[in-house]
């Protein structure tokens, strides 16, 4: 199978290389991994991040383990690898979706046929993601107000996916179509995905981006400088409630107060029909030092008590539209979500 390359993930057949997103934009450094445990660690430590990219990396982690086991590879011998990858981060459902797809292959095969099937499945997950993002973007562009300036949060671009991006993919396509005038990127404390990654991605393509502190969002909306908000998602439940990077819920409340569209862009692999509502989503709690400091430099009292939820849940009632590669769900609720999913599997 030929190597598969996307902006942050490279598959070489016997190894997985990940662009170390913790070091961007200052350094472009690739890390090469050979085991499922190494991939799980890279996911947990934010070398690779963003829901679709986490799913792709985890799928390759299973292949690496199967190759290591060689003739002994089977559903039983791979069980530990699946478990260690599943334990890496809890909130983005794309991780569990990708592992489930891989597990379906492991059910009946063993040894070389299993390894070949797993590699094919992981490569399919990787290559399909970019194509899905482009379809999603085509559906998303008309949702953005003509000539508007768009606020986005975290990083949902090529780095977070197999390429192009979800919310940032819509922004990219909208800019290429001449539909929008520019972008505000919130810096996204504490990992600064907006500051380090989104502004960098947009600048590379000469898309006008203005970086702001997260707490500037309300002020910008009040002044009429933002015409819509678009974000990605880590898990969307059966009723349309959406978990995404911490701070997303506040943006949705602000958008509603100011009468602005609040749009969620995510592939179908981010929808978790097993969970009835956002109340059931596990929200990852990350280490306190991520909040006490910035990039390892502690600035708060070293022993201050910290809460560091990495995600929050935006109720469906605050969402103007969810856009997937299948189309647009306006004013999402449980019935519309079910209809959208049924349409897909028909």
Tell me which of 10, 36, 39, 50 binds ligand MRU, using CB under 6 A: 50
Find residue 9's DSSP bridge partners: 18
Contact between 55 and ligand MRU (CB under 6 A)?
A: no
Answer for the pair 94, 162: CB distance below 8 angstroms, yes or no. no
CA distance 16 to 64: 8
Least distance from ligand MRU to the Cβ atom of residue 276, Å: 21
Contact between 99 and ligand MRU (CB under 6 A)?
A: no
Contact between 161 and ligand MRU (CB under 6 A)?
A: yes
Contact between 269 and ligand MRU (CB under 6 A)?
A: no
Contact between 92 and ligand MRU (CB under 6 A)?
A: yes
Q: What are the strands of the beta sheet with 271-272, ordered from one edge?
A: 271-272, 235-237, 242-245, 311-314
For ligand MRU, which is the closer residue by CB, 55 or 117? 55
288: left (phi > 0), else alpha (psi -120 to 50), else beta? Answer: alpha
Answer for the pair 160, 232: CB distance below 8 angstroms, yes or no. yes
Contact between 166 and ligand MRU (CB under 6 A)?
A: yes
Q: Give the interface segment with ligand MRU, choosing from 79-87, 137-145, 173-181, 226-234 (CB under 6 A).
A: 226-234
Least distance from ligand MRU to the Cβ atom of residue 95, Å: 10
Whether residue 3 lies in the annotated active site: no
Q: Give the interface segment with ligand MRU, choosing from 46-54, 119-127, 200-208, 323-331 (CB under 6 A).
A: 46-54
Find residue 182's DSSP bridge partners: 149
For ligand MRU, which is the closer residue by CB, 173 or 244? 244
Residue-wise burial string across 127-150, b where 16 or more C-beta atoms lie within 10 A, e elsewhere: bebbebbebbbbbbbebbeeebbb
Contact between 310 and ligand MRU (CB under 6 A)?
A: yes
Contact between 136 and ligand MRU (CB under 6 A)?
A: no
Give, rounded to a whole angstrom, the gap between the first and last alpha carbons of the chain.
31
DSSP secondary structure code for residue 281 in this structure:
P
Contact between 234 and ligand MRU (CB under 6 A)?
A: yes
Least distance from ligand MRU to the Cβ atom of residue 127, Å: 17
Contact between 6 and ligand MRU (CB under 6 A)?
A: no
Tell me which of 16, 24, 42, 51 binds ligand MRU, using CB under 6 A: 51
Answer for the pair 56, 129: CB distance below 8 angstroms, yes or no. yes
Contact between 194 and ligand MRU (CB under 6 A)?
A: no
Q: Give the interface segment with ligand MRU, choosing from 75-83, 159-167, 200-208, 255-263 (CB under 6 A).
A: 159-167
Q: What are the strands of the beta sheet with 148-152, ordered from one edge?
A: 209-212, 180-186, 148-152, 228-231, 262-265, 321-324, 327-330
For ligand MRU, which is the closer residue by CB, 117 or 236? 236
Cβ-based burial of 99 (10 A; exposed 0-12, middle 13-18, buried ≥19) = buried
The residue from 234, 241, 272, 312 that is catalytic is 234
Find residue 245's DSSP bridge partners: 311
For ligand MRU, which is the closer residue by CB, 40 or 118? 40
- Tokens at 120, concatenated: 């094919």
Tell me which of 49, 101, 179, 340 binds ligand MRU, using CB under 6 A: 49
Number of residues that bind ligand MRU (CB under 6 A): 18
Q: 74 φ, ψ to 5°? A: -160, 175
Give catalytic residues, as residue numbers: 234
Chain residues that interact with ligand MRU, rule: CB under 6 A:
49-52, 92, 154, 156, 160-161, 166, 191, 193, 232-234, 244-245, 310
């Amino acid at each position: 199978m030929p190597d598969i390359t996307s902006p942050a993930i490279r598959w070489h057949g016997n190894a997985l290389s990940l662009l170390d997103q913790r070091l961007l934009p200052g350094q472009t450094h690739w890390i090469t991994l050979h085991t499922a445990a190494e991939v799980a660690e890279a996911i947990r430590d934010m070398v690779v991040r963003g829901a679709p990219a986490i799913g792709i990396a985890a799928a390759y982690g299973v292949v690496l383990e199967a190759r290591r086991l060689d003739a002994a590879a089977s559903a039983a011998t791979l069980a530990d690898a699946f478990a260690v990858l599943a334990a890496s981060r809890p909130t983005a459902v794309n991780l569990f979706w990708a592992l489930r797809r891989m597990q379906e292959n492991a059910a009946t095969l063993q040894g070389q046929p299993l390894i070949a099937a797993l590699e094919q499945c992981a490569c399919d997950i990787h290559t399909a993601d970019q194509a899905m993002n482009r379809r999603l973007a085509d559906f998303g562009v008309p949702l953005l107000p003509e000539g508007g300036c768009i606020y986005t949060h975290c990083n949902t671009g090529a780095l977070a996916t197999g390429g192009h991006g979800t919310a940032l993919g819509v922004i990219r396509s909208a800019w290429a179509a001449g539909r929008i005038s520019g972008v505000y990127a919130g810096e996204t404390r504490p990992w600064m995905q907006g500051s380090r990654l989104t502004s960098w991605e947009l600048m590379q393509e000469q898309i006008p981006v203005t970086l702001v502190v997260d707490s500037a969002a309300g002020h910008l909306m009040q002044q009429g400088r933002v015409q819509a908000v678009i974000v990605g998602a880590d898990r969307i439940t059966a009723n349309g409630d959406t978990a995404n990077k911490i701070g997303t819920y506040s943006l949705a409340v602000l958008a509603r107060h100011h009468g602005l569209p609040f749009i969620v862009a995510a592939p179908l692999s981010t929808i978790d029909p097993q969970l009835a509502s956002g109340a059931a989503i596990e929200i990852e709690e990350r280490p306190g030092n991520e909040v006490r400091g910035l990039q390892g430099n502690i600035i708060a009292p070293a022993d201050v008590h910290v809460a560091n939820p990495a995600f929050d849940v935006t109720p469906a009632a605050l969402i103007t539209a969810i856009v997937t590669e299948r189309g647009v769900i306006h004013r999402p609720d449980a019935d519309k979500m079910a209809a959208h999913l049924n349409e897909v599997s028909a």
